[in-house]
Amino acid sequence: MRATLIIKNIDNLITLKGENNPRRGKKQGEVGLINNGIVAINNDKIIYVGSGGLPSDIEIDENTVFINGKGKTVTPGLVDAHTHLVHGGSREHELSMKLKGVSYLEILASGGGIHSTMEATRNATFDELYDKANKSLDTMLSFGVTTVEAKSGYGIEDFDTELRQLEVAKKLNEDHPVDIVSTFMGAHAIPIKYKDNPDEFVDIIIKEMLPEVKKRDLAKFCDVFCEDSVFTIEQTKRILLEAKNKYGFIPKIHADEIVSLGGAELAAEIGCITADHLISASDAGIKAMAEKGIIANVLPGTSFNLQEGHFARAKKMIEENVPVAISTDYNPGSCPTENLQLVMSFASLIMKLTPEEVITGVTINGASALGLENEIGSLMEGKYADLVIFDAPNLDYIIYHFGVNHTEKVIKKGKLVYEKNNCMN
User: Residues forming the annotated binding site?
Assistant: 82, 84, 91, 154, 188, 254, 257, 329, 331, 333-334
Closer Cβ to ligand NIG, 42 or 302, answer by number:
302
297 binds, among ligand NIG, Zn ion, none (CB under 5 to 8 A by kind): none
CB 265 within 8 A of CB 285: yes
Closer Cβ to Zn ion, 80 or 329, answer by number:
329
Closer Cβ to ligand NIG, 4 or 331, answer by number:
331
Per-residue binding letters, 313-352, with ligand NIG (x by CB under 6 A): ----------------x-xxxx------------------
For 255, the 3-state DSSP assignment is strand
* Cα–Cα dist 320/322, whole Å: 6
User: Taking CB under 6 A as the criterion, which residues in 198-237 touch ligand NIG?
Assistant: 225
Q: Could you say whether residue 407 binds ligand NIG (CB under 6 A)?
A: no
Residues making contact with Zn ion (CB under 5 A): 329
Residue nearest to Zn ion (CB): 329
In the complex, least distance from residue 113 CB atom to ligand NIG, rounded to whole angstroms? 5
Q: 27, 220, 254, 383: which one contacts ligand NIG (CB under 6 A)?
A: 254
User: Taking CB under 6 A as the criterion, which residues in 277-306 touch ligand NIG?
Assistant: 302
* Cα–Cα dist 372/394, whole Å: 26
In the complex, least distance from residue 185 CB atom to ligand NIG, rounded to whole angstroms? 8
In the complex, least distance from residue 329 CB atom to Zn ion, rounded to whole angstroms? 5
CB 263 within 8 A of CB 236: yes
User: Taking CB under 6 A as the criterion, which residues in 81-110 touch ligand NIG?
Assistant: 84
Closer Cβ to ligand NIG, 136 or 331, answer by number:
331
Burial (Cβ within 10 Å: 0-12, 13-18, ≥19) of residue 283: exposed
Size of interface with ligand NIG, in residues (CB under 6 A): 13
Closer Cβ to ligand NIG, 106 or 291, answer by number:
106
User: Would you give the distance in Å from CA 93 to the centre of its chain?
Assistant: 26
147 binds, among ligand NIG, Zn ion, none (CB under 5 to 8 A by kind): none
Binding region for Fe(3+): 82, 84, 254, 329
In the complex, least distance from residue 117 CB atom to ligand NIG, rounded to whole angstroms? 5
In the complex, least distance from residue 75 CB atom to ligand NIG, rounded to whole angstroms? 25
* Cα–Cα dist 12/270, whole Å: 40
* Cα–Cα dist 348/404, whole Å: 15
- Bridge partners of 73, per DSSP, are 12, 390
273 binds, among Zn ion, ligand NIG, none (CB under 5 to 8 A by kind): none
Q: Return the H-helix or E-strand segment holding 42.
A: strand 33-42
CB 124 within 8 A of CB 370: no
Which of 423, 410, 425 has its CA nearest to residue 139? 410
Binding region for N-formimidoyl-L-glutamate: 154, 331, 333
* Cα–Cα dist 285/307, whole Å: 24
Angstrom CA distances, 377 to 266, 285, 345, 365, stand at 27, 27, 19, 7
332 binds, among Zn ion, ligand NIG, none (CB under 5 to 8 A by kind): ligand NIG
What is the β-pairing status of strands 179-187 and 145-151? parallel
Burial 228-243 (b: 16+ CB within 10 A, else e): eebbbbebbbbbbebb
Torsion angle defined by CA atoms of residues 42, 47, 52 and 57, in that order, rounded to the nearest 10 degrees: -90
Angstrom CA distances, 399 to 179, 329, 350, stand at 24, 19, 12
**Amino acid type, 34:** I
In the complex, least distance from residue 275 CB atom to Zn ion, rounded to whole angstroms? 12
Closer Cβ to ligand NIG, 183 or 331, answer by number:
331
Closer Cβ to Zn ion, 346 or 418, answer by number:
346
**Residues at the interface with ligand NIG (CB under 6 A):** 84, 113-114, 117, 225, 254, 257, 302, 329, 331-334
